């Protein structure tokens, strides 16, 4: 028998005893007694814990009256029937201090659309945004040169490399403000199934869409979860994304599904080391799953050509992936020598070595905590767009205990 059932029996016993002892009371006294009995039933309390509502949404367990007064939607029961699973949905211009709030599109949104998320308690340190649905206008794919660059400076003296606006979010953007000043990068395009972390304090965070005036289809449903500073599975500091709970999964750049990585990104993807593992290995499953600046993959042998503009400043392969402590299983002597990757390949492979390509398609790291970082500048070089679309990357990873 649960604590709720035991409590109900006690209340009923008290109520029945009261009726037996005062059966002779007047009608007025009977009315008073009913009020007292009602107040006894009202002492039933239960934790306001997370619950699962209809349509796979998450909610908070409240009494029916509490859910109504808070502006929530009742969807199923909880606390063994004493409560309702209460969900909270907000649209443009709203403010919410309820944990697990869903920020959803209104269908005809345009211009600035903002949701203010305020702490649900006095000790909130982090927000997680789950993009259950995320579809807004994607980045530019223009092939037209608009200027020249040298050493990453557009319009600089003696600039010789023509640049385009490709990869910039010129129509729609989504951004999140952080009271700490360390905000995730702005994004656009198709990001359904992705997520994002942002720091939180006693101040409020703002989730902001800036939407253009064209007729692009825009739909989003973003679940906002608040974590207390004592939550045991907070994302490590500085993580844009955090993956956990499985030895194997897939990671990718924002808007990979839209076919073009985004400009001005600093996407730090963190992966929790699962029990018993000490190494993590990454690989691209298809030839088109790793495509950034550069015609060929660059890594071991020419590290200066990634995450930079070359020794002379004339290069253009700034967009890159960083895997700290990267090593190739067939080249263990190269551990930690080079950890920057760019260009395009049939998988992450080290073309600087003479061994067969099939032996070089997996890159591993024992550096902990496990993480990879994607960096991109604010433009694409005209001549490199001819090599194929700059999709960014999609990598499978596997944690292993080998060598532990």
Query: Same domain, yes or no, for 54 and 38?
Result: no
Is 310 part of any domain? yes
Of the pLDDT bands very low, low, confident and very high (cuts 50, 70, 90), residue 37 is very low
Residue 114 has pLDDT above 90, yes or no: yes
Residue corresponding to tokens 């109504």: 68
Domain co-membership, 5 together with 67: no
**Residues 19 and 72 grouped into a single domain:** no
The CATH code of the domain that includes 326 is 2.60.120.290
Q: Of 133, 288, 150, 146, nearest to 218 (Cα)?
A: 133
What's the whole-number mean pLDDT along residues 180-191? Answer: 93
pLDDT band at residue 220, thresholds of 50, 70 and 90? Answer: very high
- Specify if 139 maps to a domain: no
Over residues 202-210, the mean pLDDT reads: 95
Q: For residue 216, what pLDDT is reported?
A: 72
In a domain, 357, yes or no: yes
In this structure, are 83 and 28 located in the same domain? no
Q: Is the pLDDT of residue 313 over 50?
A: no
For residue 118, the model assigns a pLDDT of: 96
Residue with tokens 């309390």: 45
Between 299 and 21, whose confidence is greater?
A: 299
Percent of the chain with pLDDT over 90: 49
- Alpha-carbon distance of 18 to 39, in angstroms, equals 14
319 and 383 share one domain: yes
Query: Per-residue pLDDT for 31 more than 70?
Result: no
Domain termination site, one of 63, 90, 117: 90
Q: Is residue 254 part of a domain?
A: yes
Residue 210: pLDDT above 70?
yes
| Residue that wins the pLDDT comparison between 182 and 350 | 182
Between these two residues, 129 and 1, which has the higher pLDDT value? 129
Query: Per-residue confidence at 353, pLDDT binned at 50, 70, 90?
Result: very low
The answer to whether position 35 is within a domain reads yes
Does residue 310 sit in the same domain as residue 278? yes
Mean model confidence pLDDT for the chain? 81
Q: Is residue 27 part of a domain?
A: yes
Predicted confidence (pLDDT) at residue 25 exceeds the cutoff of 80: no
Domain extent, residue 24, equals 1-44
Query: Considering the domain boundaries, does residue 150 fall inside one?
Result: no
Q: Is a pLDDT exceeding 80 seen at residue 316?
A: no
Please tell me the total count of domains within the chain.
Answer: 3
Judge if 281 and 348 occupy the same domain.
Answer: yes
**Residue 276 confidence (pLDDT):** 94
The verdict on 242 and 325 lying in the same domain is yes
| Lowest-confidence segment of 86-90, 156-160, 224-228, 348-352 by average pLDDT | 348-352
Q: Is 116 within a domain?
A: no
Q: Do 265 and 348 share a domain, yes or no?
A: yes
Give the pLDDT confidence score for residue 311 in this predicted structure. Answer: 52
Quick one: three-class SS letters along the chain? CCHHHHHHHHHHHHHHHHHHHCCCCCHHHHHHHHHHHHHHHCCCCCCCCEEECHHHCEEEEECHHHHHHCCCEEEEEEHHHCEEEEEEEECCCCEECCCCEEEECCCCCCEEEEEEECCCCCCEEEEEEEEEEEECCCCCCCCCCCEEEECCEECCCCCCEEEECCCCCCCCEEEECCCCCCCCCCECCECCCCEEEEECCCCCEEEEEEECCCCCCCEEEEEEEEEECCCCCCCCCCCCEEECCCCEEEEECCCHHHCCCCCCCEEEEEECCCCCCCEEEEECCCHHHEECCCCCCECCCCHHHCCCCCCCCCCCCCCEEECCCCEECCEHHHCCCCCEEECECCCCCCCCCCCCHHHCCCEEECCCCEEEEEECCCCEEHHHHCCCCCCEEEEEEEEECCCC
Judgement on whether residues 26 and 63 belong to the same structural domain of the protein? no
Q: Let me know whether 242 and 255 are in one domain.
A: yes
**Which tens digit of pLDDT belongs to each residue from 247-306?**
999 999 999 999 999 999 999 999 999 999 999 999 888 878 888 876 655 554 455 567
* Contact partners, residue 293, CB within 8 Å, separation at least 6: 316, 317, 318, 319, 320, 342, 343, 380, 381, 384, 390
Same domain, 273 and 346: yes
For residue 82, is pLDDT > 60? Answer: yes
Predicted confidence at residue 74, as pLDDT, reads: 92
């Amino acid at each position: 028998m649960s604590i709720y059932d035991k409590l109900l029996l006690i209340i009923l016993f008290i109520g029945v005893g009261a009726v037996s002892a005062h059966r002779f009371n007047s009608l007025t006294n009977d009315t008073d007694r009913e009020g007292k009995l009602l107040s006894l039933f009202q002492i039933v309390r239960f934790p306001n814990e997370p619950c699962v509502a209809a349509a796979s949404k998450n909610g908070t367990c409240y009494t029916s009256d509490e859910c109504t007064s808070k502006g929530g939607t009742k969807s199923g029961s909880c606390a063994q029937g004493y409560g309702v699973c209460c969900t909270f949905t907000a649209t443009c211009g709203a403010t919410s201090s309820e944990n697990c709030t869903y920020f959803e599109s209104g269908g005809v949104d345009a211009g600035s659309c903002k949701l203010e998320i305020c702490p649900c308690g006095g000790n909130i340190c982090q927000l997680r945004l789950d993009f259950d649905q995320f579809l807004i206008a994607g980045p530019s794919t223009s092939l037209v040169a608009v200027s020249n660059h040298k050493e990453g400076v557009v319009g600089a003296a003696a600039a010789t490399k023509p640049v385009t606006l490709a990869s910039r979010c010129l129509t729609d953007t989504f951004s999140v403000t952080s009271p700490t000043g360390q905000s995730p990068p702005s994004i656009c395009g198709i990001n359904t199934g992705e997520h994002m972390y942002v720091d939180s304090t006693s101040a409020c965070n703002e989730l902001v869409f800036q939407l253009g005036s064209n007729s692009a289809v825009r739909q989003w449903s973003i679940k906002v979860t608040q974590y207390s500073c004592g939550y045991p599975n907070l994302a490590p500091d500085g993580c844009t994304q955090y993956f956990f709970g499985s030895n194997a999964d897939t990671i990718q750049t924002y808007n990979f599904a839209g076919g073009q990585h985004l400009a001005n990104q600093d996407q730090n993807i963190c992966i929790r080391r699962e029990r018993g593992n000490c190494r993590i290995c990454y690989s691209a499953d298809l030839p088109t799953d790793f495509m950034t600046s550069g015609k060929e993959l660059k890594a071991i042998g020419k590290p200066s050509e990634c995450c930079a503009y070359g020794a002379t400043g004339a290069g253009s392969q700034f967009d890159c992936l960083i895997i700290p402590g990267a090593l190739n299983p067939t080249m263990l002597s190269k551990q930690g020598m080079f950890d920057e990757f760019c260009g395009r390949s049939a998988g992450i492979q080290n073309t600087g070595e003479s061994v067969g390509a099939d032996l070089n398609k997996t890159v591993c790291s024992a550096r902990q905590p496990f993480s990879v970082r994607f960096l991109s500048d604010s433009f694409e070089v005209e001549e490199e767009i001819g090599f194929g679309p700059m999709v960014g990357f999609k990598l499978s990873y596997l944690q292993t205990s080998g060598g532990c």
